[in-house]
């Protein structure tokens, strides 16, 4: 019997053709993410699902789909490296493997992190607005001046694949790398980056720019809470291209207004696509709509990797890119 695969998001044509060769597909054409109710209605009866990072793969959805009599759910192949939308305790208990897309979006996300870092520290968006609204009347010595990256200290919270790729780029800008991370970092990477390890409190106190590259888990949720944000160096900048839930975004405006922060660059939010009103009106925050990995090449590779996993599974071959914790 051919497996049935639920494809709840638009995938590139060549990816669909590869899937059609091995499975019967149920395509969902709506653009907005499905609600949990919709997933509960539409996922059961499929052996595999290819969700995006905003699709609710909750315990209830997973349990209901895996209890389906004819085609219980057997594989989730997510088109993202982050999998915090998937209840991993439930997939473990139900024995449903989860594939994702590690590695492929490292360089694109690191590029976007640098772009956001530059936009924030050099006030690029604010300067563009200033010019367009007719405020530019003359050149002056301190007009829209910001932080010089050369010689500044970059604190990296999470020195994994993306954190390391950001560090390599930042070194080319003359930044000094400090980091805090769970687990070991290979010696040769630390040597190459001339990076220095710090505790989180030290990192907060010493970094001119802090960039976040940790996964969102129970232990990292709000790792940058009010206390942490207020413990940052005076005049520091914060950049987050990882997950919104790592930072308590409700206190960011206060940390800019009354605390040490000089600027913030965000690509991710706790409850996307909603962005707290306290952030939207501010010139000292650059806000992007979660486009870290959004190059044509990378987004195609992400879809293709998720499809690789489903095709291999349908052919009874070892499933590549499985998430392992
Ligand atoms: C991911 O894959 O987790 C990224 O956030 C997508 O850009």
Catalytic residues: 243, 272, 290
Q: Where are the beta strands (DSSP E) in the chain?
A: 4-7, 24-27, 48-49, 75-77, 98-99, 153-157, 176-180, 196-197, 209-212, 236-240, 261-266, 285-287
Nearest CA-CA partner of 29 in 21, 19, 38 = 38
Decide if 103 contacts 71 (C-beta within 8 A).
Answer: no
- For residue 98, how far is its CA from the centre of ligand 1 (angstroms)? 15
Q: Which CATH homologous superfamily contains domain 4-103+297-314?
A: NAD(P)-binding Rossmann-like Domain (3.40.50.720)
- Mutate-to-test residue for ligand 1 from 78, 79, 82, highest number of ligand atoms within 8 A of CB: 82
Spatial contact of 190 and 164, defined as CB atoms under 8 Å apart: no
DSSP annotation string for 177-198: EEEE-SS---HHHHHHHT-EE-
Query: Edge-to-edge strands of the sheet including 24-27?
Result: 24-27, 4-7, 48-49, 75-77, 98-99
Other Cβ atoms closer than 10 A to 241: 26
Say how many Å lie between the CA of residue 136 and the centre of ligand 1. 38
Cα separation, 259 vs 162, in Å, equals 28
Q: Is pLDDT at 186 greater than 80 in this prediction? A: yes
**Class at the top of the CATH hierarchy for domain 106-287:** alpha beta
Task: Determine the Cα–Cα distance for residues 151 and 173; give it in Å rounded to an integer.
Answer: 8
Residue 57 pairs in a beta bridge with 86
Interacting residues of 299 by C-beta distance below 8 A, sequence separation 6+ = 293
Cβ–ligand 1 distance for 293 under 6 Å, the answer yes
Q: Summarize pLDDT for 11-69 with one digit per residue, the tens.
A: 999 999 999 999 999 999 999 999 999 999 999 999 999 999 999 999 999 999 999 99
Does the Cβ of 165 fall within 6 Å of ligand 1?
A: no
Where in the sequence of the chain do the CATH 3.40.50.720 domains occur? 4-103+297-314, 106-287
Helix (H, G, I), strand (E, B) or coil at 288: coil
Tens digits of residue pLDDT in 206-216? 999 999 999 99
In a 3-state reduction of DSSP, which class is residue 293? coil
Q: State which H helix or E strand residue 27 sits in.
A: strand 24-27
What is the distance of C-alpha 31 from the center of its chain? 20
Q: Which atom of ligand 1 is nearest to the CA of 291?
A: 7
Smallest CA separation from ligand 1 atom 2, residue: 80
Q: Residue of the nearest CA to atom 3 in ligand 1? A: 82
Instruction: Name residues whose C-beta falls within 8 Å of residue 29's C-beta, 6 or more positions apart in sequence.
Output: 10
Cα distances from 304 to residues 26, 105, 143, in angstroms, run 18, 12, 46
How far does the centroid of ligand 1 lie from the alpha carbon of residue 62, in Å? 21
**Is the model's pLDDT at 325 over the cut of 80?**
no
Q: Give per-residue pLDDT as tens, 256-268.
A: 999 999 999 999 9
Work out the percent of the chain whose per-residue pLDDT is above 70. 100
Phi, psi of 301 (to 5 degrees): -65, -35
Ligand 1 test: best mutation among 107, 267, 270, 292, most atoms within 8 Å of CB? 292
CA dist 64 and 251 (Å) reads: 38
What pTM, to 2 d.p., does this model score? 0.96
Atom number, ligand 1, closest to the C-alpha of residue 79: 2
The tens digit of pLDDT for each residue in 231-264 reads 999 999 999 999 999 999 999 999 999 999 999 9
Cβ–ligand 1 distance for 158 under 6 Å, the answer no
Both tokens assigned to 247: 């930072």
Q: Is 292 in the pocket of ligand 1 (CB under 6 A)?
A: yes
Rounded CA separation 316/75 (Å): 12
Q: Model confidence over 131-168: pLDDT tens digits? A: 999 999 999 999 999 999 999 999 999 999 999 999 99
For ligand 1, atom 7, the nearest C-alpha belongs to 293
């Amino acid at each position: 019997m051919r497996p049935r695969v639920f494809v709840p998001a638009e995938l590139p044509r060549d990816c669909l053709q590869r899937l059609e060769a091995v499975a019967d597909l149920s395509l969902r054409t709506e653009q907005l993410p499905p609600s949990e109710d919709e997933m509960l209605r539409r996922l059961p009866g499929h052996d595999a699902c290819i969700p995006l990072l905003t699709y609710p793969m909750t315990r209830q959805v997973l349990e209901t789909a895996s209890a389906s009599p004819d085609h219980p759910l057997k594989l989730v192949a997510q088109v993202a490296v982050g999998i915090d939308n998937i209840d991993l305790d439930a997939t473990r208990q139900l024995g449903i493997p989860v594939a994702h897309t590690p590695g492929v979006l490292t360089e694109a996300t690191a590029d976007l992190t640098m772009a956001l870092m530059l936009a924030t520290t050099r006030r690029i968006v604010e300067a563009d607005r200033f010019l367009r609204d007719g405020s530019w009347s003359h050149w002056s010595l301190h007009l829209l001046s910001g932080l010089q990256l050369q010689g500044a200290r970059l604190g990296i919270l999470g020195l994994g694949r993306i954190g390391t790729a950001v560090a390599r780029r930042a070194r080319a800008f003359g930044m000094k790398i400090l980091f805090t991370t769970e687990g070991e970092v290979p010696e040769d990477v630390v040597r190459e980056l001339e990076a220095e390890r710090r505790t989180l409190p030290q990192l907060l106190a010493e970094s001119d720019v802090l960039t976040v590259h940790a996964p969102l888990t129970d232990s990292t949720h709000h790792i940058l809470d009010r206390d942490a944000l207020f413990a940052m160096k005076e005049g520091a900048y914060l950049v987050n291209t990882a997950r919104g839930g790592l930072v308590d975004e409700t206190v960011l405006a206060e940390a800019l207004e009354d605390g040490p922060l000089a600027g913030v660059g965000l690509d991710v939010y706790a409850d996307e696509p909603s962005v707290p009103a306290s952030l939207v009106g501010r010139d000292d925050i650059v806000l992007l709509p979660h486009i870290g990995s959004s190059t044509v090449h990378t987004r195609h590779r992400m879809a293709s990797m998720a499809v690789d996993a489903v095709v291999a599974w349908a052919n009874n071959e070892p499933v590549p890119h499985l998430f392992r914790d």
